[in-house]
């Protein structure tokens, strides 16, 4: 398989609900990753639906004609097929993906696009917990879960019907492991291999560190150096592996 040509400008966008405790660590990690790999990035705070969609359109419309690739990192509460912004309004992920398709964003036609989504994708009701990226509504609402255009890769922090977690002291496990893998292998492995290694690191992380539970006080906040304390009834719904969807037509080496 041929490689994508990435010698020209690179662009990235971070959409983050900064009200989520620990989110600042994730933003800092991604900003360092972008800088190290030659991406010029824009950061957007997910305050409300109108501002977010306006920011996405402005970012898209201002992409240079010589842009060679795109990365979008989304850090929000969510449910299956949706993200929730700070004021509780929801945005369908497919709306975001389609904004950068070949018709609406010709500058990125046949160029690689990566979306990384850190958000819950649960379908069961659970009490809202400060260390899970779930929204108050968790039922399925759309059959459009995957991008329909070519040259797109989407990495979800968890599989469908699973809950995503984060820690107030160091952020989300996904971005912790991305930082390690991308530092060591970003120039020697293509994008799918990089996230396969991240997935393996996440699996080893769970086996090595695990989670701490408190049956008597399931809502109590985590103690220092522990990931979180959760009701055992929802342990099985915590996601432990990535969901990677790719329609890339070439290998993407940074």
Residue ranges in the chain modelled with pLDDT below 70: 1, 123-148, 206-236
What's the pLDDT tens digit per position in 114-144? 999 999 987 555 455 555 566 555 444 444 4
In a domain, 4, yes or no: no
Check which CATH number belongs to the domain holding 142 and give it.
Answer: 3.40.50.1460
In a domain, 122, yes or no: yes
The confidence score (pLDDT) of residue 131 equals 54
Question: CA triplet 59, 63, 84: central angle to 5 degrees?
Answer: 25
Q: Name the domain count of the chain.
A: 1
In a domain, 254, yes or no: no
In a domain, 3, yes or no: no
In a domain, 43, yes or no: yes
C-beta of residue 122 within 8 angstroms of C-beta of residue 106? no
In a domain, 194, yes or no: yes
234, 249, 235: which is closest to 206 by C-alpha? 235
DSSP assignment of 9-60, as one string? -EEEEEEE-TTSTTHHHHHHHHHHHHHHTTEEEEEEE---HHHHHHHHHHHH
In a domain, 5, yes or no: no
Which residue range forms the structural domain that includes residue 179? 10-246
Whose structure tokens read 């701490």? 212
What's the pLDDT tens digit per position in 47-86? 999 999 999 999 999 999 999 999 999 999 999 999 999 9
The Cβ of residue 5 has, within 10 Å, a number of other Cβ atoms equal to: 12
């Amino acid at each position: 398989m041929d490689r994508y040509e990435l010698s020209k400008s690179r662009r990235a966008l971070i959409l983050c609900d900064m009200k989520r405790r620990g989110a600042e660590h994730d933003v800092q990690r991604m900003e360092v990753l972008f800088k190290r790999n030659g991406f010029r990035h824009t950061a957007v705070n997910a305050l409300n639906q109108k501002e977010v969609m306006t920011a996405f359109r402005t970012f898209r419309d201002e992409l240079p004609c010589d842009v060679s690739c795109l990365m979008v990192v989304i850090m929000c509460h969510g449910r299956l097929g949706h993200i929730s912004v700070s004021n509780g309004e929801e945005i369908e992920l497919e709306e975001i993906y389609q904004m950068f398709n070949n018709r609406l964003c010709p500058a990125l036609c046949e160029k690689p696009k990566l979306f990384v989504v850190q958000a819950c994708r649960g379908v069961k009701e659970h009490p809202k917990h400060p260390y899970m990226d779930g929204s108050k509504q968790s039922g399925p609402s759309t059959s459009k879960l995957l991008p329909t255009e070519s040259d797109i890769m989407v990495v979800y922090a968890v599989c469908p019907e699973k809950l995503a977690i984060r820690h107030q002291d160091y952020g989300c496990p996904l971005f912790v492991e991305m930082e390690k893998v991308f530092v060591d292998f970003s120039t020697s492995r293509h994008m799918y291999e990089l996230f396969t290694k991240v997935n393996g690191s996440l699996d080893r992380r769970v086996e090595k560190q695990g989670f701490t539970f408190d049956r008597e006080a399931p809502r109590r906040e985590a103690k220092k150096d522990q990931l979180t304390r959760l009701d055992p009834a929802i342990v099985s719904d915590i996601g432990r592996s990535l969901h990677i969807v790719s329609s890339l037509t070439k290998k993407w080496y940074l």
